[in-house]
């Protein structure tokens, strides 16, 4: 079904990173590492208590130094090498896809290893060890305070026009480790289907939109993806 000329769009969510030890978005009680979402993941939370938000994301950045890309991330790299037309869109803010070797990648919800100036919008990378403390970092361009380069609730995801264009043109859409209820990513499956794409889902548990996939594989991405990619590339 997949040849070198097949146009493939991949969407990954928290499930693929959870297999590397990244803590998932929020617990069953609605808290995010003991914090209310409104406190640490909204523009209003940043304005009300920037030190709390800064400390929260510094903790998550430090966690990145303790984890590694898994076999699911690496299998997607092999698929990208095989295909002529490939786009990987991730809802995750970690850098595990990059560390595995992914190239054509969009972080629609931002990136933990980057900061953005709240005044001039300049973006800086900051995963050096001296950047992982509790003190704020100032913009090199204008001197204003840098905020996490994260798409918070009530903010617009990044590069949506590019993503939408790819979805309307792809032959195969694959969603991996995503719950299917976070908008707008939850609508990607329907956009791809409406434009004639074959749709594939891979998740530990059936997501909310499982019935809209042409194929669904239940289990860990790190166990399922290597076999699927090997089959697709050999065929």
Residue positions annotated with a catalytic role: 109
CA distance 167 to 205: 24
Tokens matching residue 71: 């076999």
Q: Would you say 9 and 169 are in contact if contact means Cβ atoms under 8 Å apart? A: no
CA distances from 25 to 14, 45, 109, 147 (A): 7, 17, 12, 20
CA distance 148 to 151: 9
CA distance 177 to 218: 10
């Amino acid at each position: 079904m997949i040849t070198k000329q097949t146009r493939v769009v991949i969407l990954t969510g928290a499930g693929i990173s959870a297999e590397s030890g990244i803590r998932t978005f929020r617990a069953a009680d609605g808290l995010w590492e003991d914090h209310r979402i409104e406190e640490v993941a909204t523009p209003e939370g940043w304005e009300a208590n920037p030190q709390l938000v800064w400390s929260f994301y510094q903790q998550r950045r430090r966690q990145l130094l303790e984890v590694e890309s898994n076999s699911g991330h690496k299998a997607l790299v092999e698929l990208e090498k095989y295909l002529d037309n490939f786009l990987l869109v991730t809802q995750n803010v970690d850098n595990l896809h990059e560390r595995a070797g992914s190239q054509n990648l969009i972080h629609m919800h931002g990136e933990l290893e980057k900061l953005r100036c709240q005044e001039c919008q300049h973006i800086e990378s900051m995963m050096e060890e001296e950047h992982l403390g509790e003190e704020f970092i100032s913009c090199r361009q204008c001197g204003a305070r840098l905020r996490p380069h994260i798409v918070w609730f009530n903010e617009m995801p990044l590069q949506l026009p590019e993503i939408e264009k790819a979805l309307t043109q792809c032959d195969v859409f694959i969603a991996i480790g995503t719950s299917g209820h976070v908008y707008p990513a939850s609508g990607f499956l329907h956009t791809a289907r409406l434009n004639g794409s074959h749709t594939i889902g891979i998740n530990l548990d059936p997501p909310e939109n499982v019935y809209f996939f042409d194929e669904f594989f239940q289990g860990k991405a790190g166990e399922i993806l290597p076999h699927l990619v090997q089959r697709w590339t050999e065929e």
